[in-house]
Structure 1
Amino acid sequence: MPSPPPPRPSKDHMFTGDHDQRTIIVGDVHGSHSSLQKLLRNLSYDRTYDHLIHVGDVIAKGPYSGSMAVLQYMTTHNVTGVRGNHDQKVIEWRAWREWIHGHPGGKAWLRQLDADGDEIMELEGMPSAKWVDKELKTLDLGKWRKKIPEGWQLFSDHYKIARKMSAAQFEYLLSLPIILHVPSAHTYIVHAGLLPYDPTRPESHRRQPLAHLPTLVKKGKVAQLRLAQELAVLHDIPQNTDPWANLNIRSVDHKEVTKSSKNGTPWSDLWNDAMGKCAGDSMVEVHKKKDSMPCWPATVIYGHAASRGLDIKRWSFGTDSGCVYGRRLSALVLDAHSSIEVDSEDADLQKLPYGDNRYSRIVSVKCPDLDI
């Protein structure tokens, strides 16, 4: 299966707020095309001046037609974003199909499989995994059965999108990194989350990147120190180098990453607790305060955790407000002005501290109830 691109820095200008430019970071869309367009209209989004970013899971889970429309929009406009866990499933199914194509007789077998799948879905609608497994036993899969990865659900919405999307749309999904790092704004954008330290070691351990100044640039300028430390968070904390964790983490339970939102401690609580200990430019205070650490705080913008709703903390912004469940589609907006004019019925204009010395706003629209 294709490996995801490594974390990469984004274009720093998209967070500068110069002139009339805004940065608009949209939460999980999940194929809610009409809600996405409504949100962009309410924001008077202009591609000439505004920079649109998504936090992943732009497709699947919602209506198939909506997913294809959202994917086409993102591809056509090459919208900046990161990969979500549902996007990843679609990528994996498409890669699997191309792998099967490479086997003698593979194309013919896939054609027959898809025809059988179309017939099943025409009769039953979107079937359950258990039902599909039962039906597969009635099909003549022969030697091909072993080539279907265990736990993968044929004819799921992920499979259907993977089958129908164009080569350009596939390339767009493949181009999405797991993490975007914006050094000028001291910001990470990731679908599910990041950790500020390795939970298997004490927070003050010498191998924790926030517990000490970067070795090679101890005498460097603050900008160099911050950049080195932010990169160390990405590369020196093992859990942050694991794509599965980046795409699925919700909590830390018994020192391990978990996708559960019911057990353990939300990773964002750990993040904000650690950032609150960073002494920042007041390094002289590090030795005076018991819990202070020689680091500078950074912000994480993410999605994924719809069950927790809009989850806004000082150093993290959880933007998945459950649009696919008929709740709201939200965006974090950074602009060069003190106000944003949008439909008051569909907006939350609370001014929120962002980064070192900026402010942001959350803007949201109501989503229709979907039969999912």
Structure 2
Amino acid sequence: MFLIAVAFLALYFLFNGLLLPAWRERQAIEEGLDNPESFGHQVPDPFSGITQLQQIPHKYVPGGASDPDGKRRLIFIGDIHGCKNELLELLKVVGFNKEMDKIIATGDVIAKGPDSPGVIDTLMSLDALSVRGNHEDRVLLAANARTTAESPAESNDESSTDVSAASRGAGLKGEALLDYLKPRHLKWLRSLPLIIHIPALAPPKRPAPTTSVADTLSKKKPKKTFQILDDINIVHAGLVPSVPLLRQDPFSVMNMRSMSPTNHVPSENRKRGIPWERVWGWYNDRIARTHSTFMSWLFGFTTESSEASEWWKSWHGMHSSRDDDGEAQTLIKHSKPSVVVYGHDSPRGLNLHRWSKGLDSGCVNGDQLSAMVLNAWGQAEIVQVDCKHRK
């Protein structure tokens, strides 16, 4: 009897402490997708001068017709925050090759750290890509707000060679950092899109490599390895499920950390909902399942059926109410699963899930700078370097 009582109590606490909360969360997320007033049903106000979506040029995508031997790689880098030395060290560790590799930063490449101008110059010299983060946005808002004919930011001498800490804007952000950025820096920052989209890879026919490039070059084993063969979207903070990429709210894309499961309203406050990536993961898990003919047979309907729920239809891009006139053919809809690579949330650190890869590991706070290296076969590895204590 004692063992039966213990087993009963264990089951009770398992149900109430784990299974029931998880079930309630899933129910709330599903209700949010069915809710016609959920976030994203209205057209967001466009941010003037911001590129919402950029397709990565095909020549940079590993594998496929442009890379039959699979020599290209994509190197995704988390929030750099002006830590130039650590950026250079990380590129050395992964064996960066400008001819074969393309850097894609997750935003917040500037602010707080010791050398924001130096980081921008480095990324520009390497023809790197990046998305716009909230700190880039703040600096650009400050630049736009200046109305004088010759503001410090616009009149700095491009040929200046002063490399003192003060001249690099060490530790500064926002308008204070603006005074240390030159016109070329601001031009580059203004060119950054909110979202970069990468199509699913087409792996070469020859066998995939069996050793890590980073391991071979640096003798440092990658922290994590996994595979990504789905579409990839790079943003600074996050995305809202079922909302087409061109309809994502710019402020939320740069600032969100949490999301209400019942209406999918994103927030930069972690306490206002659950981590957004949990909603994203739930959503994409179910998209992936719809690709199975067995699942269609099991549920007894197709996506065109009136029996399919509204959220099921929205996953397949069937909500015409979310399309702008003339954009239906160009919108990238979440009709198939996609992986989000993002930064922004250093308190959570390296945050790896099936459908989301969080790379902000707090370099500017003295933790690590993280890179995710992806080859043509979809093999991904996380490589990190230690950062000097900044605070």
- TM-score scaled to structure 2, two decimals? 0.62
The residue matched to 1:260 in structure 2 has which SS?
A: coil
Does residue 363 in structure 1 map to residue 383 in structure 2? Answer: yes
Q: 1:161/1:126 Cα in 2 relative to 1: closer, same or farther (>3 Å)?
A: closer
Contact 1:2 1:95 in 2 (8 A): no
What does residue 345 of structure 2 align with? 305
Provide the residue aligned with 2:61 in structure 1: 15
| Equivalent residue for 1:192, pick from 234, 237, 252 | 237
Aligned to 1:76: 125
**Partner secondary structure for residue 301 of structure 1:** strand
- The 3 A distance-change label for structure 1 pair 62 and 107 is closer
Post-superposition shift, 1:283?
4.2
Whole-Å Cα distance in 1 between the matches of residues 80 and 57 of structure 2? 23
Give yes or no for the alignment of 1:277 onto 2:286: yes
Deviation at 1:67, TM superposition (A): 1.0
| TM-score under structure 1 length normalisation | 0.65
Counterpart for residue 51 of structure 2: 5
> Deviations 1:103-133 (Å, cap 9, x if unpaired)?
xxx869x99xxxxxxxxxx9xx999xxxxxx
Structure 1 residue corresponding to 2:91, chosen from 20, 37, 40: 40
User: C-alpha root-mean-square deviation of aligned residues, in Å?
Assistant: 2.8
Distance change (3 Å), C-alpha of 1:261 and 1:67: same
SS at match of 1:362: strand
1:159 Cα deviation after fit: 1.9
Check if 1:314 corresponds to 2:354.
yes
Comparing 3-12 with 308-317, greater Cα deviation is found at 3-12
Query: Which of 174, 180, 183 is 1:167 aligned to?
Result: 183
Unaligned ranges ≥5, structure 2: 1-46, 156-165, 202-230, 301-308, 317-334
The residue correspondences of 1:216-365 to structure 2 (distance < 5 A) are 233-235=244-246, 240=248, 242-253=249-260, 255=263, 256-278=265-287, 279-283=289-293, 285-289=295-299, 293=312, 295-336=335-376, 358-365=378-385
Assess if the C-alpha contact under 8 Å between 1:68 and 1:161 holds in 2.
no
In 1: Cα distance, 2:273 partner to 2:379 partner: 31
Contact 1:309–1:321 (8 Å) recurs in 2: yes
Q: CA separation of 1:196/1:50 partners in 2, compared to 1, >3 Å: closer, same or farther?
A: same
Superposed structure 1 runs of 4+ greater than 3 Å apart: 289-295
Cα offset, 1:77, TM superposition: 3.0
Which of residues 92, 100, 103 in structure 1 aligns to 2:148? 100
AA aligned opposite 1:45: F
Percent identity of paired positions between Structure 1 and Structure 2: 32
The answer as to whether partners of 1:53 and 1:79 remain within 8 angstroms in 2 is yes
> 1:320–1:285: structure 2 CA closer, same or farther, 3 Å change rule?
same
Give runs of aligned pairs for residues 72-151 of structure 1, distance below 5 A: 72-97=121-146, 99-101=147-149
State whether residues 240 and 266 of structure 2, in contact with CA within 8 Å, keep that contact through their aligned partners in structure 1.
no
Distance in 1 (alpha carbons) for counterparts of 2:194 and 2:292: 33
Q: Is the 8 A contact 2:135 2:173 kept in 1?
A: no
Structure 2 residue matching 1:164: 3-state secondary structure: coil
- Indicate if the aligned counterparts of 2:105 and 2:130 stay in contact, CA closer than 8 A: yes
Q: Which residue of 2 aligns with 1:228?
A: none
| Whole-angstrom CA distance in 1 between matches of 2:238 and 2:61 | 20
- The 1:85–1:273 alpha-carbon spacing in structure 2 relative to 1, beyond 3 Å, is same
- Tell whether the 8 Å contact from 1:261 to 1:307 is kept in structure 2 after alignment: no
Cα shift at 1:161: 2.8
What displacement does 1:310 show?
A: 0.6
Q: Which runs of 5+ in 1 are unaligned?
A: 112-121, 128-155, 199-232, 338-357
Query: 1:288 is paired with a residue of what secondary structure?
Result: helix
Paired with 2:196 and 2:388, the residues of 1 have a C-alpha distance of 30
Deviation at 1:308, TM superposition (A): 0.8
| Residues in 2 aligned to 1:91 and 1:76: alpha-carbon distance in whole angstroms | 21
| 1:284 shift after superposition | 5.2
Provide the secondary structure at the position in 1 that maps to 2:298: coil
